[in-house]
Protein backbone atom coordinates (compact mmCIF):
# COMPACT_ATOMS: atom_id res chain seq x y z
CA UNK A 1 0.00 0.00 0.00
CA UNK A 2 1.01 3.62 -0.31
CA UNK A 3 0.57 6.48 2.12
CA UNK A 4 -1.22 9.31 0.35
CA UNK A 5 -0.86 11.84 3.18
CA UNK A 6 0.76 12.32 6.54
CA UNK A 7 -0.19 9.58 8.98
CA UNK A 8 0.24 9.50 12.73
CA UNK A 9 1.18 6.36 14.62
CA UNK A 10 2.34 5.74 18.19
CA UNK A 11 6.03 6.62 18.11
CA UNK A 12 7.95 3.69 19.59
CA UNK A 13 11.46 4.81 18.63
CA UNK A 14 13.90 4.77 21.54
CA UNK A 15 16.47 7.56 21.66
CA UNK A 16 20.05 7.33 22.89
CA UNK A 17 22.19 10.48 22.83
CA UNK A 18 25.95 10.06 23.24
CA UNK A 19 28.56 12.73 23.91
CA UNK A 20 30.25 12.51 20.51
CA UNK A 21 30.38 10.49 17.30
CA UNK A 22 32.91 8.00 18.66
CA UNK A 23 30.76 7.23 21.68
CA UNK A 24 27.71 6.79 19.44
CA UNK A 25 29.57 4.36 17.20
CA UNK A 26 30.77 2.34 20.20
CA UNK A 27 27.19 2.16 21.48
CA UNK A 28 25.96 0.85 18.14
CA UNK A 29 28.80 -1.67 17.92
CA UNK A 30 27.97 -2.89 21.41
CA UNK A 31 24.38 -3.56 20.38
CA UNK A 32 25.57 -5.64 17.45
CA UNK A 33 28.02 -7.52 19.67
CA UNK A 34 25.22 -8.48 22.07
CA UNK A 35 23.28 -10.10 19.22
CA UNK A 36 26.37 -11.91 17.92
CA UNK A 37 27.10 -13.30 21.39
CA UNK A 38 23.52 -14.21 22.30
CA UNK A 39 22.31 -15.86 19.11
CA UNK A 40 23.57 -19.23 17.93
CA UNK A 41 23.26 -18.17 14.27
CA UNK A 42 23.01 -14.36 14.32
CA UNK A 43 21.84 -12.48 11.24
CA UNK A 44 23.10 -8.91 11.05
CA UNK A 45 22.06 -6.26 8.54
CA UNK A 46 24.81 -3.77 7.69
CA UNK A 47 25.20 -0.33 6.16
CA UNK A 48 28.05 1.36 4.33
CA UNK A 49 29.34 4.92 4.23
CA UNK A 50 31.49 7.01 6.53
CA UNK A 51 29.15 6.88 9.56
CA UNK A 52 29.51 3.14 10.34
CA UNK A 53 33.29 2.98 9.79
CA UNK A 54 33.99 3.42 13.51
CA UNK A 55 31.35 0.79 14.29
CA UNK A 56 33.21 -1.73 12.18
CA UNK A 57 36.57 -0.74 13.66
CA UNK A 58 35.14 -1.48 17.11
CA UNK A 59 33.74 -4.85 15.99
CA UNK A 60 37.19 -5.72 14.63
CA UNK A 61 38.72 -4.75 18.00
CA UNK A 62 36.18 -6.85 19.85
CA UNK A 63 37.02 -9.80 17.60
CA UNK A 64 40.77 -9.46 18.08
CA UNK A 65 40.90 -8.49 21.74
CA UNK A 66 37.74 -9.97 23.27
CA UNK A 67 37.28 -13.04 21.05
CA UNK A 68 33.96 -11.93 19.55
CA UNK A 69 33.38 -14.56 16.87
CA UNK A 70 31.36 -14.08 13.69
CA UNK A 71 31.91 -17.62 12.46
CA UNK A 72 28.24 -18.55 12.83
CA UNK A 73 26.92 -15.15 11.74
CA UNK A 74 25.32 -14.18 8.45
CA UNK A 75 25.33 -10.62 7.16
CA UNK A 76 23.17 -8.75 4.68
CA UNK A 77 24.04 -5.33 3.30
CA UNK A 78 21.44 -2.73 2.48
CA UNK A 79 22.45 -1.75 -1.03
CA UNK A 80 24.88 -1.67 -3.92
CA UNK A 81 25.54 0.57 -6.92
CA UNK A 82 24.30 -0.68 -10.28
CA UNK A 83 27.14 -1.28 -12.70
CA UNK A 84 30.00 -1.55 -10.21
CA UNK A 85 31.67 -4.96 -9.97
CA UNK A 86 32.56 -6.20 -6.50
CA UNK A 87 36.23 -5.50 -7.27
CA UNK A 88 35.62 -1.79 -7.89
CA UNK A 89 37.13 0.35 -5.14
CA UNK A 90 33.82 2.18 -4.56
CA UNK A 91 31.59 -0.88 -4.54
CA UNK A 92 29.98 -1.64 -1.24
CA UNK A 93 31.39 -5.17 -1.35
CA UNK A 94 34.89 -3.69 -1.50
CA UNK A 95 34.03 -1.32 1.37
CA UNK A 96 32.79 -4.12 3.59
CA UNK A 97 35.72 -6.35 2.71
CA UNK A 98 38.21 -3.63 3.63
CA UNK A 99 36.54 -2.36 6.79
CA UNK A 100 35.13 -5.55 8.30
CA UNK A 101 34.98 -8.89 6.52
CA UNK A 102 38.72 -9.33 5.92
CA UNK A 103 39.48 -8.61 9.57
CA UNK A 104 37.03 -10.95 11.33
CA UNK A 105 36.23 -14.65 11.10
CA UNK A 106 32.96 -14.37 9.21
CA UNK A 107 32.63 -17.03 6.53
CA UNK A 108 32.65 -15.46 3.03
CA UNK A 109 29.60 -17.38 1.83
CA UNK A 110 27.58 -15.95 4.71
CA UNK A 111 28.19 -12.34 3.66
CA UNK A 112 25.37 -11.30 1.35
CA UNK A 113 25.48 -8.21 -0.84
CA UNK A 114 23.42 -7.39 -3.89
CA UNK A 115 25.23 -7.86 -7.20
CA UNK A 116 25.32 -4.51 -9.00
CA UNK A 117 26.35 -6.21 -12.24
CA UNK A 118 23.49 -8.72 -12.32
CA UNK A 119 22.10 -9.13 -15.83
CA UNK A 120 18.57 -9.35 -14.42
CA UNK A 121 18.38 -6.92 -11.49
CA UNK A 122 14.79 -7.83 -10.61
CA UNK A 123 15.74 -11.48 -10.15
CA UNK A 124 18.79 -10.48 -8.12
CA UNK A 125 16.55 -8.47 -5.79
CA UNK A 126 14.08 -11.33 -5.48
CA UNK A 127 16.91 -13.74 -4.66
CA UNK A 128 18.20 -11.36 -1.98
CA UNK A 129 14.82 -11.38 -0.25
CA UNK A 130 14.74 -15.18 -0.39
CA UNK A 131 18.22 -15.40 1.15
CA UNK A 132 17.05 -13.28 4.08
CA UNK A 133 14.08 -15.58 4.61
CA UNK A 134 16.30 -18.66 4.35
CA UNK A 135 18.56 -17.23 7.05
CA UNK A 136 15.58 -16.82 9.37
CA UNK A 137 15.21 -13.06 9.03
CA UNK A 138 17.46 -10.24 10.21
CA UNK A 139 18.06 -10.02 13.97
CA UNK A 140 19.41 -6.46 13.89
CA UNK A 141 19.78 -4.02 11.02
CA UNK A 142 22.22 -1.14 11.33
CA UNK A 143 21.09 1.95 9.40
CA UNK A 144 22.31 5.42 8.61
CA UNK A 145 20.16 8.34 7.53
CA UNK A 146 20.50 10.78 4.65
CA UNK A 147 19.98 14.50 4.85
CA UNK A 148 16.52 14.10 3.31
CA UNK A 149 15.59 11.26 5.64
CA UNK A 150 16.42 8.43 3.27
CA UNK A 151 17.43 5.03 4.63
CA UNK A 152 19.51 2.78 2.37
CA UNK A 153 18.66 4.16 -1.10
CA UNK A 154 14.98 4.54 -0.25
CA UNK A 155 14.47 8.18 -1.18
CA UNK A 156 11.47 10.30 -0.16
CA UNK A 157 8.35 8.84 -1.73
CA UNK A 158 9.45 5.22 -1.31
CA UNK A 159 6.38 3.16 -0.36
CA UNK A 160 6.23 1.72 3.12
CA UNK A 161 5.63 -1.72 1.60
CA UNK A 162 8.54 -1.51 -0.87
CA UNK A 163 10.80 -4.53 -1.26
CA UNK A 164 14.36 -4.89 -2.55
CA UNK A 165 14.48 -3.26 -5.99
CA UNK A 166 16.40 -1.09 -8.44
CA UNK A 167 16.09 2.66 -7.88
CA UNK A 168 17.31 5.81 -9.60
CA UNK A 169 19.54 8.00 -7.44
CA UNK A 170 18.41 11.55 -6.84
CA UNK A 171 20.64 14.53 -7.71
CA UNK A 172 21.01 15.19 -3.97
CA UNK A 173 22.29 11.68 -3.31
CA UNK A 174 24.64 11.84 -6.27
CA UNK A 175 26.03 15.13 -4.98
CA UNK A 176 26.40 13.76 -1.44
CA UNK A 177 28.44 10.84 -2.75
CA UNK A 178 30.76 12.98 -4.89
CA UNK A 179 32.19 15.19 -2.16
CA UNK A 180 35.58 13.51 -2.26
CA UNK A 181 34.97 10.86 0.40
CA UNK A 182 33.91 8.29 -2.17
CA UNK A 183 33.76 9.77 -5.66
CA UNK A 184 35.56 12.98 -6.62
CA UNK A 185 33.24 13.93 -9.47
CA UNK A 186 29.43 13.64 -9.84
CA UNK A 187 29.98 12.11 -13.27
CA UNK A 188 31.66 9.11 -11.61
CA UNK A 189 28.70 8.28 -9.38
CA UNK A 190 26.41 5.53 -10.73
CA UNK A 191 22.88 6.71 -11.51
CA UNK A 192 21.08 3.71 -10.05
CA UNK A 193 21.38 1.28 -7.16
CA UNK A 194 19.88 -1.90 -5.81
CA UNK A 195 18.44 -1.38 -2.36
CA UNK A 196 16.62 -3.26 0.35
CA UNK A 197 13.11 -1.84 0.58
CA UNK A 198 11.37 -0.13 3.46
CA UNK A 199 9.35 -3.25 4.21
CA UNK A 200 12.50 -5.39 4.03
CA UNK A 201 14.14 -3.20 6.67
CA UNK A 202 11.02 -2.98 8.84
CA UNK A 203 10.88 -6.78 9.08
CA UNK A 204 14.14 -6.90 11.05
CA UNK A 205 13.54 -7.86 14.66
CA UNK A 206 15.64 -4.92 15.83
CA UNK A 207 16.74 -1.72 14.09
CA UNK A 208 19.56 0.60 15.16
CA UNK A 209 19.84 3.89 13.28
CA UNK A 210 23.16 5.67 13.82
CA UNK A 211 23.39 9.39 13.04
CA UNK A 212 26.19 11.81 13.86
CA UNK A 213 26.91 15.41 13.02
CA UNK A 214 24.85 18.58 12.78
CA UNK A 215 24.09 17.93 9.10
CA UNK A 216 21.86 15.02 10.14
CA UNK A 217 19.97 16.93 12.86
CA UNK A 218 17.05 18.09 10.70
CA UNK A 219 16.52 14.65 9.17
CA UNK A 220 16.66 12.98 12.58
CA UNK A 221 14.18 15.47 14.03
CA UNK A 222 11.79 14.91 11.12
CA UNK A 223 12.04 11.14 11.53
CA UNK A 224 11.52 11.27 15.29
CA UNK A 225 9.14 14.20 15.77
CA UNK A 226 7.40 14.54 12.42
CA UNK A 227 4.53 12.55 10.95
CA UNK A 228 4.73 8.95 9.78
CA UNK A 229 5.16 9.74 6.10
CA UNK A 230 6.85 8.49 2.97
CA UNK A 231 8.18 12.01 2.53
CA UNK A 232 10.70 11.11 5.26
CA UNK A 233 11.53 7.41 4.85
CA UNK A 234 13.18 7.14 8.29
CA UNK A 235 9.90 8.21 9.90
CA UNK A 236 8.45 4.91 8.70
CA UNK A 237 10.36 3.30 11.58
CA UNK A 238 8.20 5.05 14.17
CA UNK A 239 5.92 2.06 14.71
CA UNK A 240 8.70 -0.55 14.70
CA UNK A 241 8.59 -2.79 17.78
CA UNK A 242 12.31 -2.40 18.56
CA UNK A 243 13.98 0.60 16.93
CA UNK A 244 16.68 2.74 18.57
CA UNK A 245 18.18 5.95 17.22
CA UNK A 246 21.77 6.31 18.48
CA UNK A 247 22.91 9.91 18.07
CA UNK A 248 25.73 12.20 19.07
CA UNK A 249 24.88 15.55 20.61
CA UNK A 250 25.15 17.37 17.28
CA UNK A 251 22.68 15.07 15.53
CA UNK A 252 20.33 15.46 18.49
CA UNK A 253 20.63 19.24 18.61
CA UNK A 254 17.07 19.93 17.38
CA UNK A 255 15.39 17.97 20.19
What are the residue numbers of the active site?
A: 79, 148, 150, 155
DSSP-assigned states of every residue in the chain: ----S-B------EEEEESSHHHHHHHHHHHHHHHHHH-SS-EEEE--SSTTHHHHHHHHHHHHHH----TT-EEEESEEETT--TTSTTSHHHHHHHHTGGGS---GGGEE---TT-SSHHHHHHHHHHHHHHTT--SEEEE---TTS-BTTB-TT--TT--SEEEEPPHHHHHHTTSSSS-SSGGGS-SEEEE--HHHHHTSS-EEEEE-SGGGHHHHHHHHHS-B-TTSGGGGGTT-TTEEEEEETTTTTT-
Amino acid sequence: FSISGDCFVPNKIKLVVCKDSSAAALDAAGRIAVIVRERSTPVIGLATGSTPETVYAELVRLHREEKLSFRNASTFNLDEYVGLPSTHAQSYRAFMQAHLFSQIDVLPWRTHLLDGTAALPALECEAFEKRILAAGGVDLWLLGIGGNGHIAFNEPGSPVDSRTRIVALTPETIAANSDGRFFSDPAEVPRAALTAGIATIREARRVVLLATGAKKAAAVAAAMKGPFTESCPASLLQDHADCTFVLDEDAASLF
